[in-house]
Amino acid sequence: MSTQKLFVLVITSLFCCSVSPLFAQVGTGRTPDEVYELLKETYPESTQEDSQTEADQFTVHEDFEINLFAESPMVVNPIAMKWDAKGRLWVINSPMYPHILPGQERTDFISVLEDTDNDGKADKSTIFYDKLYVPTGLALGDGGVYVANQPDLLFLKDTDGDLKADTERVLLSGFGTEDNHHAISAFTWGPGGWLYFQSGVFLHTQVETPHGLLRLDNGGVFQLRPRELKLDMFNVGSATNPWGHTFDQWGQSFLTEGPQGDIWYLTPATSKGNPTERVPGTKAPKSCGTEFIYNSHFSEKYQNLMVLNAFKNKTVNLYEFSDDGAGYATRELQPLMVVSNGPKFRPVDVKTGPDGALYVADFYQPVIGHMQYQFRDDRRDHLNGRIWRITEKNRDLLPKIDFTDLSVAALLENLKSSDGYTRDKSRRELYERDQAEVVDALPAYLSSLDPADPNFAHHQLEALWVCQTINHVDLDLLTTVLNSSEPRARAAATRVLRYWLPEVPDALTWLDKLIQDEFPRVRLEALCALSYIDQPEAIEIAAKVVDHPRDKYIDYTFKHTILNTRDTWLPALKAGEITFNGNLNHIQAALSVAETSEATALLLNILKGGKLGADKRANLLNVIAQQGTSEELAQLLGRDSLAAIANVGLPATDTVYTPELHASVLSEVANAYRNRKVTPSGNLVEIGQLLDAPNEDLKANAIELIGLWKVSELQADVETIALDTTSDTSVRQAAFTTIAQLGGETALNTLQQIATSVDEPLEIRYRAAAAMVDVDLATASLLAGQLMQQDPEKADPGLLLETFFSLPEGPDLLTVTFKDQPLNIDAAKLALRYMNETGKQDPGLVETFRTIVGAKSLADELMAEELKPLLEQVMAEGDAARGEDVFRRKDLACFSCHAISGGGAPVGPDLEGLGASSPLDYVFHAIVDPNKAVREGYAAVTLLTEEGKIFTGILKEKTPESIVILDATTRKVRSFNPEEIEEVAPAPSMMPKGLVDNMTRQEFLDLVRFIHELGRPGPFATPNIPVQRTWRVLQTPVEMVVADKTPAEINQLAETSEDVFWAPLYSRVNGSLSLTDLPETTTTYLTTRFDVGTPGAVQLSFNSVAGLEVWLDGEPVSDLSEATIVEATTGEHILTYRIDRSVRGEEPLRLEFSPAPNSPARPNVINGV
């Protein structure tokens, strides 16, 4: 007998062993009432509350009704639940959350609920075990219960049938404990027999198993084979704190999370190596617990919908899924299933019951989380909890089944059921039966299937999943399902093939066929499977995916399959052991995402061969610039050398080379120096040949490289450009920066000459003085003092202040310089706005500018007042409509950090449901004293580089290879090599503490009331619908006439004129864009973006088309109406709008997307910054 089989036998025997009376009842044996009395003594500040009061605060969709299934003391603060094969509901309860009190015994418990008279309400509760501490997940199997009890995964078992645990065993240990609401949670059995559970980003897990050590320091999804104790990672990094994982009827899985929301289709992110890059998601609110509806209690229109608990919004939502390329598009259905206007409804889990109804676990808490609120906040509830039951009106319930009484044949027959609950429970019960008996019964089940049955393929797939669940490899059945006419069955079977790879001798042959399947999801699954094959030939097969239509999901998976197998296939390619059959498209596709300089020589040779399609060359040149060696970069610098490579083999009439391409390549060459410290070989002075380039971007990028590489021989030429008042601002800015990097006396003199010249625009003087910071900080500070005394007019003092904040001593020196100086009031106001927008809050400078402006500290005044009457004043006198206007004020810059339902910058948390999820006092403190509590995932850090420069932003990732932040100033992701970072230190909240000082008291009351109403039922509800919330508006001088221009002409104007540019603008909460926010011109241009995964017709629904013209990707949209149909290809699209204000007046503009009738296209609106 092999060691592995012996180990499995030992583990199995441990699950099945009898236990002596010595170990009977490892719990305390308390009844629910006894536990409840103990809790009342422990938490005297909590009181039992009436469930009917909560029910009265529900607004329930007209098709449904809700009733109470269970309440305290049967359940108290329930977190998760599971139905067993006998139709009993097992619930984990955590009245101790979020922490244990000094001297307190562990009293969190598992209760088993029964509805013995089938009236839809539990009438019996048994405590199975009551010595847990904040348990966060459970699963039933192997005759017992798997329980998350950090840092352990416990296995509890009742050996004498009294529904009380008699044995307790630590199955695995070492799961992270730093934050208990990130602990392993949301347990679910997958259709193939793995047990899945999740963990959050703040934890560090290190679990020793018989198969090796597993570590995780990110958000992730585990998968476990309990009998073998085989623990793997299913996914890493797709979600920050995942708390919902469910499978659809075809075995595709979807993840949801609490802190940031969205629905994540996980398959692309399950390739070998567990890529930590987030897989593309679809929009959804922050949630906890999901379930698909597959049963006949609900009518046909509700089948296949996902039920999603938006626990922060206090709603139960329904989501429709539809194919979108290899992935899915989702749509929230309106009205919502359940909406609560009460303060404590917290739906955290949802499960289909044996009668077909939906059961929702209500954690029942007025405050959630423990970063925003103190552990000992006396509002925390420790005595209440509910299980709610949702049924559809006038629909029959399903008969309850005791699956333990059924034969193997009957359980197999159940796999044909249309009821997902019945199929899942039957599959799990088959897992508990003798494997040989199940295997012997499968042929009869398969032979009974009718090929004419529309569900024939799914019935076969269910049998394949049973084989996978009971660990029986059936290659004939696998072959049958892989050949199915149903593409979703083929995709699911390809997943099974992945897990059975060691047992499938012709796996590569199969995958060669599947990678070319007509259904994109099969190709996606094949890519994932190929990533697990450690043979170079696997990538030759994977590259064939580029011969077929691709989307963001396939591109994501292809990239990570290439990366995670790079050490296998790239050496083989270089040695000539694989050739991709000479297909250049396949080779370049693999090399272009390999992210290594070892690939660039091969790419360069492909380009020089002259046989690659012209449409692929520009991308490869940029890849070579990103990753190439010094010798390779040298070939990309000059016009002639780059053009020769770009155009080789093309007809004389065709050209790939353009100045724009050259500028893009030089930008990547600059990044290569910043990220890898790689400079081109040869004479760097030759870059000076580009200083006369007619393209401004090319010229600016060449100047930037002169500074990075310290090409001092060209300093005089750059200084000449800096002094040239006819040069474009972007070119002069590059020259200023380069002069400062080259340094020396001439650099100081040149910059000082420009900064003090009254003939120069103030913006240019700001930029020159700012560049001087790196040459002579003291002189730069004195110049700043002089410049800040002048009226800024259209100039932004932020240009001047920014570089001072990049040095540790910069702000202090400015404070001293500005002291007692007659700074211009408008300059001080704009400086405060800049500091608000970027979160750069130096106390000395803030006080200096406030003194100049004459502003008193409203924040200090408010903090000195008693909180309760102040909150009462908010509710009595605050006006949410006026508060939205305050939020939108440019000087407060709220949108520069926060989005509402996706519209706005993602620097801070999206505020879409903040009012519904948070008590009023939290909203108050978040505005007045933002450092009091920073939401998880949004903590700011300050990086100090070896060069003495400071960068501040939100920490996104920290690994041995890189430190990634969302930069506070640029609002862009920025990556640093850890070797260039001297210190990483916590930074204050990026939301400025003195923001309210720019408001009147009434404005503050209005703003707080507005935030308080966000997400609540009413005019400030934030439904997740595909409405356009982010726009870009063309800013032009009032006197400029642009009424007759096309999108191409407008974009050209924006690129060539310094006075014309695109600026972001955001819709109101109701989705409408107020025209009063637009420039004061008769004609206004706007742009928006959307994308589709599957090509087809898309409907654009406008509130009105009066005075409106629209272009799609530069082509005019004809027959414009309030329901306009346009054709969209796969990928991203740009809509351009021209509004004639003389015709439209002040009527707002609102745009909502939807699929056109009978169209496969599913539009995804692109919001954000």
User: Distance between CA atoms of 955 and 218, rounded to whole angstroms?
Assistant: 13
Residue with tokens 């610098």, as numbered in its chain: 637
Q: In this structure, what CATH number is given to the domain that contains residue 966?
A: 2.30.30.100
Mean pLDDT calculated for residue range 404-413:
99
829 domain residue, yes or no = no
Cα–Cα distance for residue pair 817/811, rounded to 1 Å: 10
Counted domains in the chain: 5
Domain CATH number, residue 161:
2.120.10.30
- The pTM for the full model equals 0.91
Q: Mean pLDDT in the chain?
A: 93
pLDDT of residue 1082: 87
pLDDT digits (tens, 9 = 90+) for 514-565: 999 999 999 999 999 999 999 999 999 999 999 999 999 999 999 999 999 9
**pLDDT bucket at 16, cuts 50 / 70 / 90:** very low
Strand-strand pairing, 347-352 and 1115-1116: unpaired
Q: Is residue 585 a part of any domain in this protein?
A: no
Instruction: List, in order, residues 6 or more apart from 652 with CB less than 8 Å away.
Output: none
pLDDT value at 216 more than 80: yes
Which tokens go with 242? 């995942």
Position 995 scores a pLDDT of: 83
Using DSSP's 3-state secondary structure scheme, residue 574 falls into helix
- In 3D space, the residue among 565, 533, 562, 563 whose CA is nearest the CA of residue 545 turns out to be 562
Inform me whether the pLDDT recorded for 90 exceeds 60.
yes
457 and 478 belong to one structural domain = no
Most confident of 82-86, 178-182, 372-376: 82-86
Give the contacts of 758 (CB within 8 A, at least 6 positions apart). none
Give pLDDT, residue 1038: 67
Question: How many CA atoms does the CB half-sphere of 673 hold within 13 Å?
Answer: 18
- Does 493 lie in the same domain as 385? no
Q: Of 303-307, 480-484, 933-937, 950-954, which gets the smallest average pLDDT?
A: 933-937
- State the SS3 of 300-340: HHHCCCEEEEECCCCEEEEEEEEEECCEEEEEECCCCCEEE
Neighbours of 321 (CB within 10 A): 21
In a domain, 340, yes or no: yes
CATH code of the domain containing 1042: 2.60.120
Same domain, residue pair 458 and 485: no
Which of 542, 569, 596 is the endpoint of a domain?
569
In the predicted model, is pLDDT for residue 931 greater than 50?
yes
Phi first, then psi: give them for residue 407, nearest 5 degrees. Answer: -75, 165
Whole-angstrom distance, CA of residue 221 vs CA of residue 186: 10
Number of other CB atoms surrounding residue 1056 within 10 Å: 10
Q: List the CATH number of the domain containing 499.
A: 1.25.10.10
**Is 977 found in the same domain as 876?**
yes
Please provide the distance, in angstroms rounded to a whole number, between the alpha carbons at the two ends of the chain.
62
pLDDT confidence tier of residue 836, bands split at 50, 70 and 90 = confident
Q: Average of pLDDT values for 864-878?
A: 96
Write the pLDDT tens digit of every residue in 750-789.
999 999 999 999 999 999 999 999 999 999 999 999 999 9
Residues 516 and 431 in one domain: no
Both 267 and 350 in one domain: the answer is yes
Query: 428 near 226, Cβ under 8 Å?
Result: no
Predicted pLDDT at 913: 86
Residue type, 893: A
Burial-class residue 912 by CB neighbours within 10 Å (0-12, 13-18, 19+). Answer: buried
Q: Copy the structure tokens of residue 481.
A: 């399902």
Distances (CA, A) of 168 to 131, 140, 155: 11, 14, 6
What is the longest distance spanned by two Cα atoms in the chain? 96
Q: In terms of Cα–Cα distance, which of 101, 395, 351, 356 is closest to 244?
A: 351
* Domain-embedded: residue 468: no
Residue 901 φ/ψ, nearest 5 degrees = 55, 40
Structure tokens at 549: 């239509």
- Write the pLDDT tens digit of every residue in 1086-1111: 999 999 989 999 999 999 999 999 99
H or E stretch at 720: helix 715-723
Same domain, residue pair 384 and 434:
no
- Cα separation, 115 vs 82, whole angstroms: 14
Which of 545, 569, 593 is where one domain is finished? 569
Q: Say which residues have a Cβ less than 8 Å from residue 74's Cβ, sequence separation at least 6.
A: 32, 111, 113, 122, 125
Same domain, 207 and 231: yes
Secondary structure (3-state) at 1079: coil
856 or 207, higher pLDDT: 207
Answer whether residue 9 shows pLDDT above 60.
Answer: no
In the prediction, which pLDDT does 1117 show? 97
Residue 40 pLDDT: 96
Tell me the C-alpha distance between 627 and 672, whole Å: 7
Tokens matching residue 388: 């709610």
What would the two tokens of residue 596 be? 């290594």
- Cα(805)–Cα(457) distance, integer angstroms: 64
Distance CA 808, CA 982 (A): 13
Asked, for residue 896, whether it belongs to a domain, the answer is yes
Give the pLDDT of residue 22.
Answer: 42
Q: 132 and 257 share a domain?
A: yes
Q: For residue 294, which of 249, 334, 230 has the smallest C-alpha distance? A: 249
**pLDDT score, position 715:** 98
Query: 3-state class of 182 per DSSP?
Result: helix
Q: Are 383 and 515 part of one and the same domain?
A: no
pLDDT for residue 970: 77
Boundary residue ending a domain (569, 600, 626):
569
**Three-class SS of residue 477?**
helix
User: Which are the contacts of 126, defined by CB distance < 8 A and separation ≥ 6?
Assistant: 32, 111, 112, 114, 163, 164
- Full residue range of the structural domain in which residue 1056 is found: 1030-1166
Instruction: Compute the average pLDDT of residues 916-937.
Output: 86
Instruction: Choose between 305 and 1040: higher pLDDT.
Output: 305
What is the average pLDDT across 650-674? 94
Average pLDDT over residues 112-124: 97
Contacts for 1164 with CB less than 8 Å, ≥ 6 apart: 282, 324, 329, 1026, 1090, 1091, 1092, 1093, 1153
b/e sequence 749-775, b meaning 16+ C-beta within 10 Å: ebbbebbeeeebebbbbbbbbbbbbbb
**Neighbour-count burial of 17, counting CB atoms closer than 10 A to its CB (0-12 exposed, 13-18 middle, 19+ buried):** exposed
pLDDT in tens, 313-322: 999 999 999 9
Phi and psi at 1033, nearest 5°, equal -110, 140
Report how far residue 883's alpha carbon sits from residue 900's, in angstroms, rounded to the nearest whole number: 14
Q: Which two tokens stand for residue 201?
A: 């980003």
DSSP codes, 948-970: S-EEEEEEEEE-SS-EEEEETTT
Q: What is the 8-class DSSP label of residue 582?
A: G
d(CA 1041, CA 1056): 16
Residue 176 lies in a domain: yes
Within-domain flag for 966:
yes
Q: Residue 1013 is inside which H or E element, if any?
A: helix 1001-1013
> Is residue 256 a part of any domain in this protein?
yes
pLDDT of residue 952: 87
pLDDT at 732: 97
Same domain for 415 and 311: no
Residues 224 and 341 occupy one common structural domain:
yes
Angle, CA 403 vertex, CA 398 and CA 407 arms, to 5° = 125
Q: What pLDDT is stored for residue 371 in this prediction?
A: 64
